[in-house]
């Protein structure tokens, strides 16, 4: 089965590379469906924008954290710095540990041990994993392809 799928992919790639126009001609034209074309263009634009802004946010957070560490190490015993319109002061932040199956298992083992009860951790976790609800939603996924000549087409 896997060999058949690999062969089909290889054949499709060969077909596209040898004659890309033939593949496009087989697709349904959408020149008469301007709202769909506009929606796809807008979706691609905002998908690219989201990806770019996500990378920028990640970079900005990393830079902010680098400077925060540098400032905290230089402050020493200073309690507060006055900057324009605000004060900067060292503060302790407490955050909860991410709740994962491993941390849940560890906590349940501790609970049963502390309360001198039979350890039912494995049964509880098995039940939770089997009965965990799932939510499915439709979304668009951008799948990279080989470059074909520009044109508007829909493939099914």
> CA 43 to CA 47: how far, in whole Å?
6
Is 66 domain-assigned?
Answer: yes
Q: What pLDDT shows up at residue 75?
A: 84
Residues 71 and 104 in one domain: no
Residue pointed to by tokens 């890309």: 20
Q: Return the structure tokens found at 104.
A: 């849940």
Is 153 domain-assigned?
Answer: no
Is 137 domain-assigned?
Answer: no
Full pLDDT tens readout for the chain, 156 residues: 445 545 554 554 454 444 444 433 345 455 578 899 999 999 999 999 999 999 999 999 999 999 999 998 888 777 888 899 999 988 888 999 899 999 999 999 999 999 999 999 999 999 999 999 889 999 899 888 876 565 555 555
Q: What pLDDT shows up at residue 68?
A: 93
Residues 72 and 103 in one domain: no
Q: What pLDDT shows up at residue 120?
A: 94
Residue pointed to by tokens 């060292």: 90
Is 57 domain-assigned?
Answer: yes
Is residue 1 a contact partner of residue 133, using CB atoms and an 8 Å limit? no
Is 45 domain-assigned?
Answer: yes
Q: What pLDDT shows up at residue 146?
A: 76
> CA 17 to CA 59: how far, in whole Å?
38
Is 115 domain-assigned?
Answer: yes
Pairing of strands 153-154, 81-83: unpaired
Q: What pLDDT shows up at residue 30?
A: 52
Residue pointed to by tokens 């970079």: 59
Is 48 domain-assigned?
Answer: yes
Q: What pLDDT shows up at residue 81?
A: 87
Is residue 87 a contact partner of residue 80, using CB atoms and an 8 Å limit? yes
Domain tally, the chain: 2
Is 143 domain-assigned?
Answer: no
User: pTM surpassing 0.85?
Assistant: no
Give the 3-state secondary structure of residue 146: coil
Domain of 118 in residue numbering reads as 99-131
Q: What pLDDT shows up at residue 7?
A: 54
Q: What pLDDT shows up at residue 94?
A: 93
């Amino acid at each position: 089965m896997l060999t058949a799928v690999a062969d089909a992919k290889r054949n499709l790639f060969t077909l596209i590379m040898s004659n890309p126009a033939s593949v496009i001609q087989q697709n349904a034209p959408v020149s008469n469906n301007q709202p769909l074309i506009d929606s796809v263009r807008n979706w691609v634009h905002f998908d690219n924008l989201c990806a770019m802004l996500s990378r920028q946010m990640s970079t900005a957070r990393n830079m902010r954290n680098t400077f925060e560490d540098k400032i905290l190490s230089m402050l020493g015993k200073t309690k507060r710095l006055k900057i324009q319109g605000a004060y900067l002061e060292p503060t302790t932040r407490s955050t909860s540990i991410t709740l994962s199956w491993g941390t849940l298992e560890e906590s349940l083992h501790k609970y049963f041990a502390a309360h001198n009860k039979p350890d039912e951790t494995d049964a509880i976790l098995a039940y939770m994993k089997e009965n965990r609800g799932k939510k499915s939603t439709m979304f668009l996924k951008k799948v990279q392809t080989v470059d074909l000549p520009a044109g508007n087409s829909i493939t099914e």
